[in-house]
Structures are given as structure tokens and as C-alpha cells.
């Protein structure tokens, strides 16, 4: 099975999800989104496929999230493209769907 993980190697949850995918034998494409953030359109499509709004996928604990408290989805999406650290991680995509793998064991839903 093919899988794509939008991964931050500094994140323990992201590392754990990647390990679970690998252990399951998935053919994993790793996108280190802090270095290579998705385009606005790609991120919007990914979130839509997951059934998530940009606010659902916003890491509210990050300093850059403060000004987004009352922002609409379009503004949050724009901020995520400029500051990819705002994107909740890891996001995993397979032919079965897309989800935020928190906890990491959620990847099993896509295998």
C-alpha cells in the first residue's frame, strides 16, 4: 500500500506514525513539510479530503497561531502556507483517506 506522510522529524508523534507505516509494510513517501510546505491549494485539498477545516488542523499552541484566534479559514490556510509549523502533524494520506495521526495508531485506519 502506498502512503504519504506530511512529517516533521522533530515531532515524536510524527516519528511514531512513520514507524508504524513502515512496520506495516507501506510504501511511504515522506514529505518534510517544514522544509517543503504544501501549496495553499494542495493543503486545502488535503484537508477537504480529510473532512477537516483549517481550524481543525491548526496547532494552536504555536506562537504564530495567536493572531489567528478569530481568523476565518481562508486566513488560517494562508498562515499555514507561510508558517507550516502551524499545520497539525502528522497528516497521513493513503487510497483509503486522509487523517491527522494523533495518536499515531490512527494510521491503522488507513491501512
CA distance 2 to 19: 14
Q: Which residues have a catalytic role annotated?
A: 11
Query: Which set of grid coordinates corresponds to residue 24?
Result: 506495516
Q: Which residues lie below 8 Å from residue 88, measured CB to CB, with a gap of 6+?
A: 56, 57, 58, 59, 100, 102
Asked whether the beta carbons of 4 and 45 are under 8 A apart, the reply is no
Amino acid at each position: 500500500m502506498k502512503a504519504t506522510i506530511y512529517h516533521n522529524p522533530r515531532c515524536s508523534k510524527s516519528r511514531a506514525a512513520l514507524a508504524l507505516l513502515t512496520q506495516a509494510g507501506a510504501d511511504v513517501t515522506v514529505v518534510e513539510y517544514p522544509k517543503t510546505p504544501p501549496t495553499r491549494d494542495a493543503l486545502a485539498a488535503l484537508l477537504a479530503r480529510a473532512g477537516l477545516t483549517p481550524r481543525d488542523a491548526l496547532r494552536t499552541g504555536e506562537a504564530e497561531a495567536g493572531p489567528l484566534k478569530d481568523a476565518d479559514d481562508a486566513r488560517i490556510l494562508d498562515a499555514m502556507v507561510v508558517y507550516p509549523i502551524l499545520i497539525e502533524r502528522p497528516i497521513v494520506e493513503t487510497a483509503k483517506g486522509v487523517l491527522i495521526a494523533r495518536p499515531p495508531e490512527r494510521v491503522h485506519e488507513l491501512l
